Every structure is written in C-alpha cells, then in structure tokens.
Amino acid sequence: MSSHQVLAGFHAVTARLRHAPSSIKELYVEASRRDKRMQSFIEQAQAANIRIHPVGIERLDGLSRGVKHQGVVALAEENKLAIDVDEVLDLLEDRGQAPLLLILDGVTDPHNLGACLRTADAAGVHAVIAPRDRAVGLNSTVQRVACGAAETVPYIMVTNLARTMRQLKDRDVWLVGTDDQAQGTMYSVDARRPMAWVMGAEGEGMRRLTRETCDELVTIPMAGSVESLNVSVASAVCLYESVRQRSSG
C-alpha cells in the first residue's frame, strides 16, 4: 500500500475516475451506505470496470489515515500530468498559448495548497511549481481540498526553485512576485504576456533569492486593517487579474 497514492472523498476519487480510471488499483466504499450519491458513484466506478470493496468504516478510517473520506477511499498510482517545466512550455508553444503559471514558495499547509490548486484550475493555470524541500506534496488532504483540481493542474516540484525561475526567464516567462513593500500594484502588470505569479507563504513570504529572481514585484492593494491575505486568496486575486486581462482581448 505504501507505493500507492491515497485518494479520499467523493471529489478526489471521482476526478481520478474521470481523468485516469486505469490508475485506480483498489476502491473501498462504506458497506452500510446506500444513499443516492453513493449509488451513483458506485455505478460510475462499475462503468469504468473498477473493482469495489465494501468495507466497514473502521477500515476506511485506517486507509484514509485521518483524512475525511465520506465513505470512499481509493488506492491509485500517482497521476503525473507533466514531468517538468520545459514539457509544459513546449506544449503551450506548440498550441500558440501564452503560459500562465503559479509559483508557490514555502507553502507547507496542505489545505492552502489544495485551495491554490482549486483556484489554479478555475483560472486556467497551466502548471503550479513549488520547491521540493519547502512544500507539501499531493497528499490525501490536498487531494480532498482541491476537489479534483490535483487531477487537472500539473503540480511540479523542483529541486532548486531559483534555478527553475531562471530557466523560465530564459524562455521569456515574466516572473511577478507579490511583496508588501513593492511600489507598483498588481493592476500595473501586463498579464497578457507569458508570465508566472510568484507567491510566498503567510508570515515569512518569499525567500530572499526567490524575491531577487523575480522580474517585477507588486503589492495587492489592502484597504482595511488586515496586513496580508492567505496565500490561496492572494493567488486567486492575482490569477483572476490575469483572467480579466486575457479575456478582455
């Protein structure tokens, strides 16, 4: 079981059923649950030829390792959407699309990452990039909070974030970081160009080298007494400025 990814909850498992059903190796459902949602889910799994194991809730609790499972847990092979940043950029170049990326530096809370992935999916982000040594992986909590977005948005963990950022710059991707002390605001950014928003975790923010590697630093206007936004909310605000600009022609 250690070699498999644990997916818990209807959203996470249903998303995998839609996008990569063959990766699901074992599917467990609460034997005593017979409501309409569960019946519909079971029919969907059966249509994908997934073997279903009805089990007790104690077994599901053990499999999900403390994550809320709603009576559904799957063991699956890891679903890799992209191997590296170059793969993403090459594909976008072939399609004639301007990259929109999200870089997260130091986001270790799985709830924050899940929310960031969900927003990234909604905003049409092509990939989310994070350092391998200072970030949470795609664990079952992230999968649940992301509500299926972890199955559609590539989450690429890199060994050296600053080096990856320089590689993006070499490929003409403009790196825009958010910083409370910056002069310009997010509304001054030309978000139609190939770009990546760079976000730091709450409290510490971006690391020094990450900040220095950005092409541009901007603030998110704050009219109230709160000093900063949660990283997932800040990501949403900035990404949707990109969506606004790109959709307005």
For residue 204, the domain's CATH number is 3.40.1280.10
Closest CA relative to residue 88, chosen from 146, 24, 164, 12: 164
CB atoms within 10 A of CB 42: 18
pLDDT at 113: 87
106 labelled binding-site residue: no
Check if the beta carbon of residue 184 is closer than 8 Å to that of residue 137. no
Q: How far is CA 169 from the centre of its chain?
A: 22
Residue 48 belongs to what H/E stretch?
none
Could you tell me which residues are beta bridge partners of residue 55?
Answer: 30
249 labelled binding-site residue: no
Shared domain check, 173 and 89: yes
Closest CA relative to residue 185, chosen from 139, 157, 220: 220
Shared domain check, 132 and 242: yes
How deeply is 1 buried, as exposed, middle or buried, from its count of CB atoms within 10 A (0-12, 13-18, 19+)? exposed
Could you tell me which residues are beta bridge partners of residue 130?
Answer: 157
Shared domain check, 225 and 181: yes
CB atoms within 10 A of CB 171: 13
71 labelled binding-site residue: no
Q: How far is CA 235 from the centre of its chain?
A: 11
Task: State which of 58, 76, 94 marks the end of a domain.
Answer: 76
pLDDT at 3: 61
pLDDT at 1: 43
pTM of the model: 0.70
Check if the beta carbon of residue 46 is closer than 8 Å to that of residue 52. yes
Q: Which residues of the chain have pLDDT under 50?
A: 1-2
Task: State which of 47, 76, 105 marks the end of a domain.
Answer: 76
| Residue 41, domain extent | 5-76
For residues 147 and 170, give the distance between their C-alpha atoms in angstroms, rounded to a whole number: 34
- Total domain count for the chain? 2
Longest C-alpha distance within the chain, in Å?
Answer: 59
Could you tell me which residues are beta bridge partners of residue 52?
Answer: 27
Check if the beta carbon of residue 82 is closer than 8 Å to that of residue 206. no
Q: What is the pLDDT of residues 47-59, one digit of tens each?
A: 999 999 999 999 9
The tokens for 245 are 């600009």
